[in-house]
Amino acid sequence: MALFKTMKPRAYRHEYIYYNERKEKLNEIRDKAKRELGLLPPKEFSPEDIRGKFTMATNHVRRRKESGRHISTGMLIFFIIVLLLVMRYLYTGEFLF
C-alpha cells in the first residue's frame, strides 16, 4: 500500500579505516580500572559520559530503539478515528452513525 508508506533514502554510513572500536573499549576499561585503583588521577566531568545512559538503562526503550519500531500511519489513523468516535459518544450520548 504505497499511500501510507513512503520510501526513505538510504542512510549514509561512514566506516573508519584506521579505527579499532574494540581497542578503544579495552583502553577505556583499562583506564577505568587504573582510576579505581588510584594509579591515574580522576577523570574530569564530561557531559558526553552520561549521554544515552538513562535510555539504555530501561529494557523496553533500548529494545524499541534497537529494533527501529514505530507506530505506522495506518495505526495512527485508526486510533484517531476511535478517539473521534469516543468523543462523539461522550458529547452526544449516542453511538449511532
Could you report the per-residue pLDDT of 55-73, keeping only the tens digit for each?
Answer: 778 888 778 777 776 777 8
**Long-range own/partner contacts, residues 54-62 (CB < 8 A, 24 or more apart):** none
Domain ranges for the chain, please list them: 71-97
* pLDDT tier, 82 (very low <50, low <70, confident <90, very high otherwise): very high
Q: What is the pTM of this model?
A: 0.38
Tell me the HSE value of 25 on the side-chain side, using a 13 A CA sphere: 3
Least confident interval from 11-25, 32-46, 49-63, 81-95 = 49-63
Residue reference for cell 486510533: 79
